[in-house]
Structure 1
């Protein structure tokens, strides 16, 4: 017996010495999940003294510990990835570690304890890095899926029936059938990102991610790491395990480079190389990684002028401009204005369970206004008016002062047209609108306008309104 006791004492000293010299963390619990031992390294990692851990249930210290389950259900794990609950570690940075856990049995096969080994130095670094990257990628895809289901833009769902806009939608549908690069141009607020999403959703890559990045919104010094990612230790403050760039996240899908005209020249050269070689090289990485992405770019700027002034690379322009679709400003598709307004208003009415409509004066104001901010401005004006109107309809007094004053003073946007032409344009647009609302029923449309049906037929013929009856 004395020999057994001496041998046990010997192993105790050996075990304690191992716990001291190891880089790993060790923790031991009894069969009830109460901590019986923990080494100093693990205490330091958790930011708590041993006296606050030993003798207490392990879940008091590590809220999502699996050790009680290990000793209850009698199993073990090797190199499992564990993420601590915020506040359970000293650094409070949601640290990932690799953990091996197991039950301890006596000679009779009874569970007497559970032990866990936590690898801070990550000897299995490649495995841990891969799992962390996969976790980050999964979180990214989950967020992108949420966005795509909320805004599942298709060419059928994009509002606009004017001839010039329908032509652009046809071009987009054709472009979607290929993997060619697409360059979307046009003034700010014309809906270039919505159009890009519709192209992606109509393509063979629709079940893969579409990743967007606004080249004007990210500082030049951060743009490279955002686009191409980085490996752990690439620079001071780099995330543990590194970070995937937008190109890697878009692999097999589509990347949307918004405001490409604002990209610095040095980055333009690197984007060109990605398009030519179909590979990216993360910052601090050991080599290039192959990527398969469809590129859609957009800009409000005149890239041809920028090429002349040396602000944009000509070779990159030709790589991006395989298919060019220039989206028209709202003032060139006036017959779509009220349809868009109706769409935005219906969306707000559904959200707030209201039945607010636009007054006749507001409709005329919208039709005549030049909309320098295009569709985005129209949406913002409607939201602002919706927020302050206190009746069942939005009136001129609810609009921005400059718009209301313009309408009251009778300043119409005419583009050189005669008054008679302006009247015809307005009447044509109004008749089309009412016919659409009445499902092309001329009798109901005539009643709505307060005229005889035969008079409506004469107006349709005079104004050359097609595809309405």
Structure 2
């Protein structure tokens, strides 16, 4: 519940009418132990009548209209209850109708509930403090100026500085080699990074804290001490993963696992988390999977993750792009051919992609581009679990997991007659849709962080990216999705002359666009301090900047979509 009057008022207030006799009014007042009562005429609020007036007057059959008093204890239902000065207070709507009242009883109920909530919050705060201070990991939080505001006992032990002494100090003076100021500047998280502190090698997270489209703080977390804990975790993971491909041992140097896993699919947004959850479940079966999504969203990466987490992980992952192979060659590519099947055929023949996927996974990308004649042959393979090479009469039994992907509307293609309905239902067993990047823009910082770390490693550099560039990325449509973002980041990285990449380094912006973006993104004036006309212009400017996309506009303005729609309506901006 909120602290608005409407949530606490008594919705059925006592009232009388002007024509009611004094005797009846007196009876109601005494029966309810009241010293005054509201007067209503034709559902409209008129005022009050007090007990003392009723007692002093003749209590015969006369009405009370002559004794009605004005009362300033009237409030709107949207008013905050803690703003009330006196009770009882009568609640009247915009039409002048009495809709409720706040008496001592309602006020007591409110204060009792507030006291209860404050107690719960104090208990929860105490619990948070306890968890923060007793956590094994070193935890610290700095404000937007880099000043330490929270510093737990574990971190205190690492740096050998008392918590009381660290709080209020610049993080750079307390934490050796800290990069928290960099994270504050860039707004990009740095997860699982190697860090040397007090002569000890650690693995750390540095996480920016965003609010109202700006970084207001950053958290530093010490995750692992040296490599021994990492190897312990690897051993535990191997135990869980027993019988699968993992071969890393304690006495081996760490090598990057090149297999794509679900943890490599970057993004924690609700819609993408849902996609990964379905994909994880799909990986535990051998049922066909149909992955849909726009070009560049990472359909093949999801397919690889499903294969690598599946019971068929020891088998091959065979990928075929149906749109990239000419129709005349597609059959021999998929089914293979026998010796002498056609001029130029290899002696002894050649197995096709389907045979190569035996006891593994066959991934048919762009299945929507497969010709109808080939669709019929693929359907037969799925049904009969066997394959026949071109130019041969021999059937070979096969067992594989089929994953298909497309950026087209297969359902509509079925209706249009360009895709076989029977094949569609064979493929459409576990559908997985990957949302476009514009629907999960909150995943941009983690993707940026990962790619820049990758580029720094590749080029042996330590470049960083400005927070304004990340904010600018939120406003872009990214029609090419992850692929476009990754390509953009590499272009930005290579062309940037300085170590810190800013809006100035974005190659696709001309001077006018760059200036507009800079002015827009650096306008930090809080909405509550704007006048009506200023707010109207701010909303109008934001909508123009994002080409009318209200979701993006609301995010940049730091308000909800519902609030934005209300303000658009109020300022007639449609």
Q: Which of the five TM-score ranges fits, normalised by the shorter chain?
A: 0.5 to 0.7
Instruction: Name which of 422, 427, 439 aligns with 2:556.
Output: 422
Note closer, same or farther for the CA distance 1:418–1:335 as it changes in structure 2 (3 Å cut): closer
SS of aligned partner of 1:156 = helix
The question of whether the paired residues in 2 share the 8 Å contact of 1:176 and 1:202 is answered with yes
How many residue pairs end up in the alignment?
A: 279
Q: Matches of 1:421 and 1:391 in 2, distance apart? A: 30
> 2:498 matched to which residue of 1?
391
What aligned pairs does 1:354-393 form with structure 2 within 5 A after superposition? 354-393=461-500
Shift of 1:414: 5.7
Q: Matches of 1:158 and 1:335 in 2, distance apart? A: 14
Instruction: Name which of 457, 468, 476 aligns with 1:350.
Output: 457
Q: Please state if 1:261 is matched with 2:368.
A: yes
The question of whether the paired residues in 2 share the 8 Å contact of 1:365 and 1:407 is answered with no
Note closer, same or farther for the CA distance 1:265–1:367 as it changes in structure 2 (3 Å cut): same
Shift of 1:389: 1.0
Q: Matches of 1:403 and 1:206 in 2, distance apart? A: 48
Q: Matches of 2:271 and 2:514 in 1, distance apart? A: 26
SS of aligned partner of 2:274 = helix
Q: Matches of 1:349 and 1:274 in 2, distance apart? A: 46
Note closer, same or farther for the CA distance 1:404–1:186 as it changes in structure 2 (3 Å cut): farther
Q: Matches of 1:306 and 1:239 in 2, distance apart? A: 37
Per-residue Cα deviation, 1:341-363 (whole angstroms, up to 9, x for no partner): 11111101011111111112211
Q: Please state if 1:200 is matched with 2:334.
A: no
- TM-score, normalised relative to structure 1: 0.57
Instruction: Name which of 333, 336, 339 aligns with 1:229.
Output: 336
> 1:250 matched to which residue of 2?
357
Q: Please state if 1:239 is matched with 2:346.
A: yes
Q: Matches of 1:332 and 1:304 in 2, distance apart? A: 22
Instruction: Name which of 334, 339, 349 aligns with 2:446.
Output: 339
Per-residue Cα deviation, 1:432-468 (whole angstroms, up to 9, x for no partner): xxxxxxxxxxxxxxxxxxxxxxxxxxxxxxxxxxxxx
Note closer, same or farther for the CA distance 1:300–1:289 as it changes in structure 2 (3 Å cut): same
The gaps in structure 2 that reach 5 residues or longer are: 1-255, 518-544, 561-574
Q: Matches of 1:232 and 1:318 in 2, distance apart? A: 35
SS of aligned partner of 1:401 = coil
Q: Matches of 1:321 and 1:360 in 2, distance apart? A: 42
The question of whether the paired residues in 1 share the 8 Å contact of 2:466 and 2:500 is answered with yes
> 1:310 matched to which residue of 2?
417
> 2:94 matched to which residue of 1?
none
Q: Please state if 1:164 is matched with 2:293.
A: no
Q: Matches of 1:418 and 1:318 in 2, distance apart? A: 37
Moved more, 192-201 or 352-361: 352-361
The question of whether the paired residues in 2 share the 8 Å contact of 1:281 and 1:287 is answered with yes
Shift of 1:379: 0.5
Q: Which has the higher contact order (CA 8 A, sep 6+)?
A: 1
Per-residue Cα deviation, 1:194-247 (whole angstroms, up to 9, x for no partner): 000000011000111110000000000000001010011100011111111001
SS of aligned partner of 1:160 = coil
The question of whether the paired residues in 1 share the 8 Å contact of 2:504 and 2:514 is answered with no
- TM-score, normalised relative to structure 2: 0.47
Q: Please state if 1:213 is matched with 2:347.
A: no
What aligned pairs does 1:150-161 form with structure 2 within 5 A after superposition? 151-161=258-268
Note closer, same or farther for the CA distance 1:257–1:405 as it changes in structure 2 (3 Å cut): farther
Q: Matches of 1:419 and 1:221 in 2, distance apart? A: 49
SS of aligned partner of 1:247 = helix
SS of aligned partner of 1:372 = coil
Q: Matches of 2:285 and 2:387 in 1, distance apart? A: 23
The question of whether the paired residues in 1 share the 8 Å contact of 2:546 and 2:553 is answered with no
SS of aligned partner of 1:199 = helix
Note closer, same or farther for the CA distance 1:408–1:321 as it changes in structure 2 (3 Å cut): farther
The question of whether the paired residues in 2 share the 8 Å contact of 1:368 and 1:413 is answered with no
Q: Matches of 2:510 and 2:435 in 1, distance apart? A: 22
SS of aligned partner of 2:305 = helix
Q: Please state if 1:291 is matched with 2:425.
A: no
Q: Matches of 1:173 and 1:179 in 2, distance apart? A: 12
Shift of 1:185: 0.1
The question of whether the paired residues in 1 share the 8 Å contact of 2:320 and 2:365 is answered with yes
Q: Matches of 1:404 and 1:327 in 2, distance apart? A: 35
What aligned pairs does 1:24-43 form with structure 2 within 5 A after superposition? none
Note closer, same or farther for the CA distance 1:296–1:408 as it changes in structure 2 (3 Å cut): farther
> 1:323 matched to which residue of 2?
430
Shift of 1:257: 0.2
The question of whether the paired residues in 1 share the 8 Å contact of 2:546 and 2:552 is answered with no
